[in-house]
Amino acid sequence: MTTEKEKKVKDGSEYTAKSIQVLEGLEPVRKRPGMYIGGTSTEGLHHLIWEVVNNSVDEAMAGYGKEIIMRLMPDNIVEISDHGRGIPVEIHPQTKKSTLETVLTVLHAGGKFGGNGYKISGGLHGVGVSVVNALSVWTKAEICRDKKIYVMEFERGVPKTNEPKVIGKSEKTGTKISFQADPQIFPEIKYNWEKILAYVRHQAFLVKGIHIKVYDEREAGKEKAYGFLFDGGLTSFIKFLNRGKEIKNEFPFYVEKEDEKTESVVEIAMQYTDSYKEHIFSFANNIFTPEGGMHEVGFRTALTRVINSYARKNNILKEKDENFTAEDLQEGLTAVISVKLRNPQFEGQTKAKLGNGEMRGIVSAITAEALNDYLESHPNNAKAIIGKCLLTNKARIAARAAKDAVIRKGALEGMTLPGKLADCSSKNPAESELYIVEGDSAGGSAKQGRDRKFQAILPLRGKLVNVEKTTLDKVVKSDTLKPIIIALGAGIGDSFNIEKLRYQRIIIMADADVDGSHIRTLLLTFFYRYYEELINRGYIYIAQPPLYRIQKGKDVQYVYTEEEKNIAVDKIKIALGKNKEQKKNAKKEESQEKENIVMETDEDDEQKDTEEKSLGINIQRYKGLGEMNPEQLWETTMDPGNRLMLQVSIEDAEAADKMFDVLMGSEVEPRRRFIQTHAKSVKNLDV
């Protein structure tokens, strides 16, 4: 018999002390991994590596051991070793356990809180290696310290022994951590070689003289090895970022200085190129801060003030001229800002923004003094930088005038939206979507087939401008891009305001041929250069129209690839009792009896088409969107219940920027090399 109290506990209506579950040790990490590593996707998986690598980098920054070795091994085993001091193994006074076990099993345990173990460190949450231990099938720590080699092993965060075992002697010091990520936590365990190299490369740039070696030993016969060692530090980083670009100031600006009062270290490198985009990478204690923060604000403030002062002093800016704005100094700027401080305060769980207010003044003062000396000591480089800023200033003023003219013209004609835009009735951006459609024919079908409530259609006419080779004033005057800018409603350049965006799904819909691919690339370049925030928010999509329509009787299906078509046709043939494979094999055997060789000719395709027609299978290949009637376009490409779309994202902004430079920029040689390298990998080129 169930009592009333028991019934309440079972159905959850009673909330008592017994309702509260207490997770001990590393249980919270396994229960809610997203709180510690951001999720269990590929980002979270790689975060395990970053945590261990950061510990080794912290040792190097503290001056202990300049070499770090990482190995990716079979069965998803990762091994990272350094020549630092080695994690202490003696009994910890608080936990009464080995310090090694404490570091690997207790959250918020580490040498980075009291200031004695590390003056500066990146692993500030103190949960690093313990989280790796918690989320791995097994972890093994091998420590060289006090002329001995200690080993301790763990299974899903639980130690296999009461204390570290001594397994030998060594004159060296260091730490080696090996682990195997847990498939119970991560749905897919697949380490990305390029992603790892990019992260490690950044660490090597940020710590001068550190030597990091990475080995990929996952597949026998396909081993890879890479090493990083940059004595130039951030200067090397700047040159790496600007490779293949036309440089304005050949001699990069560089400063490294410690603020004596706070013991913070500021290191900055800067160079201008002919690019139309700004590239600023900021770091705090080697942690990338994509949203900037006080260190970046301090740098920008000093840059604007010093450049204006130098231009006035040298009569480059006349009395009647306005000062350069911060925007004038952004175009073509490549800068890396790295600060190292004792107690950084990050905004948000992901450490995306540095919040220490004192760093604004420190960075500003150090930058201003060093930049002023740089401009005075390198007049030719100073002239090149200010020349670039003057061009940007003139282009900005021209762009503003052109943009205002566009808006005024629209207002005079009694319309604020382009005439060829078939807008949707909804005024809610969250549910509204804009289809940018190639050609009038496809645009007509899209207008007839759409859902008028939330789908707007903008057909493209004329030649698209390659924004990689032109300035903003020409972009806003473009007959093809101007309607897109006005339709989006969010402005462009200094007037961009995402709150005014009229659609939160912008869908590029072009033919599946070479011309369509070119249009997609030009539009993606446009959005990346002037509307990167739309990509970052996931608002840009690419429609995926079908390649074939297959009909047998009343049954109709759409397929998107040649392979899908073959599978679909084979299934129909099997259902009809016509086994294509048996016929094909019989034909091969007959050919081999005659000449002992199998030839593939055009006749094979003709035979196949004849066979499919004889079976009543009708296959229609869509060469363009214009070949679809409105009903077909809606059913396959525009109906939210059936359509297939690709969401555009930027996993690595640095790599994306470099690729746009290569594919769409003015330099021919990098593009030629890219084509020569990848030409053989192109399949089914439709020209």
What residues are annotated to the active site? Answer: 438, 511, 513, 515
Residues in the chain: 687
Give the distance from CA 140 to its chain's centroid. Answer: 31
Q: What CA–CA distances, in Å, run from 651 to 312, 475, 518? A: 42, 26, 22
Contact call for residues 367 and 255 (beta carbons, < 8 A) = yes
Helix 358-377 vs helix 294-313: angle between axes, to the nearest 10 degrees?
30
The sign one gets for the Cα dihedral 287, 291, 293, 298 is positive
Query: Any residues with CB less than 8 A from the CB of 96 and at least 6 apart, and which?
Result: none
- Report the interhelical angle of 358-377 vs 379-412 (nearest 10°): 120
Find the Cα–Cα–Cα–Cα dihedral 102, 107, 109, 112, rounded to 10°.
150
Closest-CA residue to 360 (of 335, 331, 339, 333): 339
Three-state DSSP state, 589: helix
Burial environment of residue 107 by CB neighbours within 10 A (0 to 12, 13 to 18, 19 or more): middle
Which residues have a Cβ under 8 Å from the Cβ of 391 and sit 6 or more positions away? none
Contact partners, residue 22, CB within 8 Å, separation at least 6: none
Exposure of 277 in the CB half-sphere (CA atoms within 13 A): 24
Q: Is the separation of the CB atoms in 546 and 556 below 8 Å? A: no
Task: From 202, 207, 169, 212, select the one nearest 83 (Cα to Cα).
Answer: 212
d(C-alpha 400, C-alpha 416), whole Å = 17
Angle of CA points 406, 408, 411, to nearest 5°: 110
Structure-token pair, residue 668: 């021919």
Q: Residue 549: which of 540, 541, 558 has the closest Cα? A: 558
How far, in Å, CA of 152 to CA of 100, rounded? 8
The amino acid at residue 553 is: G
Residues 381/249, Cβ–Cβ less than 8 Å: yes
